[in-house]
Amino acid sequence: MMANSPADILVELEEAVAACPPERCARILSGMVLLLTGSRDRPQELLANVVDGVLLRLTERVEASALVQLSTALAELKVAPPETLRRLASHDDPDVACPLLLKSQALATSDLETVAASRGERHQLAISGRSVIEPSVTEALIKRGGPICLALIKNPGTKFSDAAYAALVARADQDGEIKKALALRPGTPDPVVRKLLSATPGKPNASSAPPAPIAPKLPSSAAYASARPEIVALSRVGKLNDSTVNRFAIRGETANLFTALSVLSGAPIEIVEHVMVDGDCEGLVMACRASRLNWSTTLAILSNRSGARLSFAERERAQHIFETLLLSTSQWTVRWGEIAAGAGTIDPGHRGARMGVSR
């Protein structure tokens, strides 16, 4: 009489499991978990595939608490029964699915994408906490929105595609938390940060902009020439700091203030003049950020440049820009970017009179 084939044996096991009472199924399940987790010296892939069908049968016969234990155990394995893994990871009960979604290295990227697109918030948050998240999974999660986007941004293991960045930038228009988190995230490409900053919520447009502040009178060339030696000397001894610049702003010492911003930010004096007279505060906030000044000093400069008190909305917007900006982006924009290009519209004769003090 010929021995049964392995396939026949597995069929018999599955049929036996289908007929045994639930409490015995739970004991069998515990034994199979021990077999999987304790067989380090056996071929893991072969063993996982052999027991997969039986485990699937068992998952239909045991209570949720046993499934949670199974899921937690399988989450630690680099190789696990694939069909059982897939079923548990997509289980309706988050307590069953989340251990695998958070930790399992055996789950395929396609399985994670499917769960991200079809299951609830707890499932998605578990995926967003993984140590590494592939770009396609990131895109699937971003489509669901909500707190998932913030969780992805704050996870250093998240990988973003160009499409994912574009989707987040679009969401950031309506969500300041997303904008701030993405702008401050290490590794966010500079072009993405510049897009975020160019779409600041509440930025006035041509039809709704409030009246521009009274532009401060620009210092003369003689005033710059007189101020520069003192500013350079303060910079060399490390005393061109927030306290000093704050004092310049409060006292209305415009030549000292403009020269200080030029020296600290590395921007030509005509760019400093440009942002100081611009009706929108964004350029001036960038110049202050590029100068490594703190928010208190920046606020003093904003408040004293026009002689008019900032409104609450203007102050809130300025602080949001300041806290969102990266130092590198601010420096690039002030020295070489849109602000520098905008400063090119200043009258050439006016600029020429000051070029001697811009460096």
Tens-place pLDDT, residues 252-286: 899 999 999 999 998 888 888 888 888 788 888 98
More reliable by pLDDT, 161 or 324 = 161
- Tokens representing 290? 């590029």
C-beta atoms surrounding 237 within 10 Å? 7
Distance, in Å, from the CA atom of 46 to the CA atom of 81, rounded to the nearest integer, reads 9
φ and ψ of 133, to 5 deg: -125, 120
Determine contact, residues 17/60, Cβ cutoff 8 Å: no
Q: Is the pLDDT of residue 335 over 80?
A: no
Contact 96, 64 (CB under 8 A): yes
Q: What percent of the chain has pLDDT over 70?
A: 74
Return d(Cα 123, Cα 127) in angstroms, integer: 7
* Residues 192-196, mean pLDDT to the nearest whole number: 82
Q: Looking at residues 203-230, what average pLDDT do you find?
A: 68
What integer is the mean pLDDT of 145-162? 90
Q: Which residues contact 300 (CB under 8 A, 6 or more apart)?
A: 246, 249, 250
184 versus 231: the higher-pLDDT residue is 231
**Measured CA distances, 149 to 59, 125, 158, 184, 307 (Å):** 33, 10, 11, 14, 41
Q: In this model, does residue 99 exceed pLDDT 90? A: yes
Q: Among 279-283, 304-308, 330-334, 341-345, which stretch is predicted with the lowest mean pLDDT?
A: 341-345
Q: Does 91 have pLDDT greater than 90? A: yes
Note the pTM of the prediction, 2 decimals. Answer: 0.53
The yes-or-no verdict on residue 215 having pLDDT over 80 is no
| CB atoms near residue 317 (< 10 Å) | 21
| pLDDT, averaged across the chain | 79
Helix 254-265, helix 269-277: angle, nearest 10: 120
Which positions ≥6 away from 263 have C-beta within 8 Å?
231, 232, 235, 240
